[in-house]
Amino acid sequence: MKALSLKRLNKVYAGGVVALRDVDLEVDEGEFFGLLGPNGAGKSTIIGIVSSLVRKTCGSAEVFGHPVDREPWEAKSVLGLVPQEFNFNGFETVNQIILNQAGFYGINRRTAHERAERYLSELGLWSRRNSVSRTLSGGMKRRLMIARALIHQPRLLILDEPSAGVDIEVRRSMWTFLRRINTEGTTIILSTHYLEEAESLCRNIAIIDRGQIIENTDVRSLLRQLTAQSFLLDIQGDLAEVPVIEDFHLMPVDDSCLEVEVRSDQSLNELFARLAERNVQVVSMKNKSNRLEELFVRMLERPAEERRKPEQIETTT
Amino acid sequence: MRGNAVHPGYARQTLIALRTIAWKETHRYLRIWLQTLLPPAITMTLYFVIFGNLIGPRIGPMAGHSYMEFIVPGIIMMSVITNSYMNVVSSFFGAKFQRHIEEILVSPTPNYTILIGYLAGGVGRGLLTGLIVTFISMLFTDIQIQHPAITISVAFLTALLFSLGGFLNGIFARKFDDIAIVPTFILTPLTYLGGVFYSIDLLPGVWREFSLVNPILYMVNAFRYGFLGESDIPIQTAYAIIVIFIVFSVCLSLYLLRRGVGLRT
């Protein structure tokens, strides 16, 4: 069963701005799917069309087999949305916002209270249930929107930049929570700028740029496209000079740190052995930057006509 | 909407959603009663004091009644019109401006339920304000209601019509200025010229005919008929005009909601 199916979806805004061009996308039930792309790529337009806040120009969008334009009641009933911008009434309390949302979905008061307690507790907001929403911190507001989107227990949850402006501790707990509800059966589509987040959470991702899907695959396959990675090596003591090792390109970062590029056909063990031969001891190592992030940037830099070619991408990461 | 009629949860969802929106809207104006209920009570009290008590005795009787008795129905109707309109336009535009209208738009709530929910708030505030002003008027004159059914039905239909007007204004409004323009430049002049403070029989020929194109005149006069049993225009004509405007406004509102005008891009 497809949780989401987009076929030849197009959107042209008033004024002629083309936001989507023939977008085809399918997300299986139970997936944790990432939708990535730069600002203005069309991510929020897709989410808007699926949630009925944006009218499509042509094409089709179905949620669990229900066209959003012809069977809106069925499609909306199984969809939960966490939008990018805060869009709740700042004068209402946390509890009022959650209970009203339950009412819009036809959930009776008793069930709504039970679910409100469950989700607000799980998201660490139960003690703030009587607080007026505008007094919450940014992280709390994000969690409130997640609780609100879950109150009708949707089969498909769409999150548009849920981690924006959220500190790392809250972000990590949010990830744990999202992983759990995904494991319990909720299909999740995550639109994010944090590629570390996509790499950590999503099994499959689609990359959209200038209104077109330029990549749609699983994260592992995508990362296999990396032919080289760059690492930062912390060295014991200060380096007198940069060691020269055949086949490895080493560059100094500072007196006790080296940057090295390692191709996929090379071994880190071999590198460490050769460094040891030269009395260079590595005390720690890390990737220079997030792998998916580097790949993402490289893909967007490719000319449009090359983007759909399944070629290997040379990268420094 | 295909398939809605056969889905077993449709009617239940719609009813609970309607109750939720109606209560949310009612709770809103009750919560901010200092802004919604108290000001019209004070303003209308001033009208009774100045026009009824101080100036009224100098004007003398109008249409066979004391001036105070004559203006009471018009002033009550003025508060009903203004408050039902302002409640819906400010609440609906506020929801658009803060984007929390999206809470409802992404839910399976049908458009007619959204409309009825907002109208419930507008009608409720309009009638509650009208009731408050009626009680205040009893402090100034011993007023009798000749036709209670007509009084109540005209008040309800007028509150409904101006709630619809507020809803339409809210749909088209893009900034806060837009929700002030209609009440300031259209609603208030039409209300003052709608026979609240005078009988149109006092006007010279051409101005009397001109007054007859003002729909508020019919509402004020029908309401006054309910109170005093006197009206400048036939009561059936008043009902017909109010109902025609309501039907037109409902159809237009639903059409605009369906098209997503001002709500969906």
Q: What is the pLDDT of residues A15-24, one digit of tens each?
A: 888 999 999 9
Most confident range (mean pLDDT) of A25-39, A192-206, A245-259, B79-93 is B79-93
Q: What is the mean pLDDT of chain A?
A: 85
Which residue's entry shows tokens 């849920």? A162
**What's the distance, Cα to Cα, between the start and end of chain A in Å?**
37
Q: Which two tokens stand for residue A234?
A: 């912390």
**Which of A71, A77, A104 is the best substitution to test chain B (most B C-beta atoms within 10 A)?**
A104
Contact B265 A54 (CB under 8 A): yes
Contact A104 B107 (CB under 8 A): yes
**ipTM associated with this complex:** 0.86
Which residue among A53, A71, A108 places its CB closest to the CB of B102?
A: A53
Chain A nearest-CA residue for B114: A104
Which residue among B3, B107, B109 places its CB closest to the CB of A74?
A: B3
How near does any CA of chain A get to the CA of B17, in Å?
Answer: 4
Q: Which CATH superfamily is domain A2-223 in?
A: P-loop containing nucleotide triphosphate hydrolases (3.40.50.300)
Which residue's entry shows tokens 């094409």? A59
Which pLDDT belongs to residue A268? 84
Residues of A in contact with B99 (CB under 8 A): 85, 87
Which residue among B1, B17, B100 places its CB closest to the CB of A103?
A: B17
Residues of A in contact with B4 (CB under 8 A): 71, 73
Which pLDDT belongs to residue A305? 55
Residues of B in contact with A97 (CB under 8 A): 103
Which pLDDT belongs to residue A237? 77
Chain A nearest-CA residue for B110: A73
Which pLDDT belongs to residue A219? 79
Beta-carbon contacts below 8 Å between A and B:
89
Averaged pLDDT in 10-residue chunks for chain B of 265 residues: 60 93 95 92 90 82 85 92 95 93 94 96 96 92 89 96 96 91 89 84 79 88 89 88 95 95 86
Residue B125 CA to residue B84 CA, distance in Å, equals 6
How near does any CA of chain A get to the CA of B7, in Å?
Answer: 8
Which pLDDT belongs to residue A306? 56
**Which of A12, A51, A52, A73 is the best substitution to test chain B (most B C-beta atoms within 10 A)?**
A73
Instruction: Calculate Rg over the CA atoms of chain B.
Output: 20
Give the H/E segment covering residue A32: strand A32-36
Contact A104 B98 (CB under 8 A): no
Most confident range (mean pLDDT) of A210-214, A303-307, B252-256 is B252-256
Q: Is the dihedral of CA B113, B119, B123, B124 positive or negative?
A: positive
- A interface with B, Cβ–Cβ < 8 A, is 13-14, 48, 51-55, 70-74, 76-77, 79, 81, 83, 85, 87-90, 97, 100-101, 103-108, 148
3-state secondary structure of B164: helix
Which residue among B14, B16, B264 places its CB closest to the CB of A54?
A: B264
B17 CB within 8 Å of a chain A CB:
yes
Strand partners, B131: none
Which residue among B2, B95, B100 places its CB closest to the CB of A71?
A: B2
DSSP B61: -
3-state secondary structure of B93: helix
Strand order from edge to edge, sheet including A257-263: A249-254, A257-263, A228-235, A282-287
Q: Is the dihedral of CA A194, A199, A205, A207 positive or negative?
A: positive
B 66-125 near A (Cβ less than 8 A):
95, 98-100, 102-110
Which residue among A74, A81, A97 places its CB closest to the CB of B106?
A: A81
DSSP A220-285: HHHHHTB-EEEEEEEESS--SS---BTTBEEEEEETTEEEEEEETTS-HHHHHHHHHHTT--EEEE
pLDDT of A297 over the 70 cut: no
- pLDDT tens for each residue of A60-86: 999 999 999 999 999 999 999 999 889
Which pLDDT belongs to residue A294? 66
Which residue among B17, B99, B108 places its CB closest to the CB of A72?
A: B108
Chain A nearest-CA residue for B96: A87
Mean pLDDT of the region A229-254: 81
- pLDDT tens for each residue of A147-169: 999 999 999 999 998 887 777 88
Is CATH 3.30.70.1560 what the domain over A228-291 is classified as, yes or no?
A: yes
Which residue among B4, B98, B104 places its CB closest to the CB of A104?
A: B104
Residues of A in contact with B265 (CB under 8 A): 13-14, 48, 53-55
pLDDT of A233 over the 90 cut: no
Which pLDDT belongs to residue A232? 85
Residue B193 CA to residue A154 CA, distance in Å, equals 54
Half-sphere exposure of B124 (CA within 13 A, CB side): 19
**Lowest mean pLDDT: which of A45-54, A308-317, B4-13?**
A308-317
Which pLDDT belongs to residue A311? 39
**Which of B34, B107, B109, B259 is the best substitution to test chain A (most A C-beta atoms within 10 A)?**
B107
**Lowest mean pLDDT: which of A28-37, A103-112, B56-65?**
B56-65
Chain B nearest-CA residue for A55: B265
Residues of A in contact with B114 (CB under 8 A): none
Domain ranges of chain A: 2-223, 228-291
| Percent of chain A at pLDDT exceeding 70 | 89
Confidence band, pLDDT 50/70/90 cuts, at residue A317: very low
Contact B265 A48 (CB under 8 A): yes
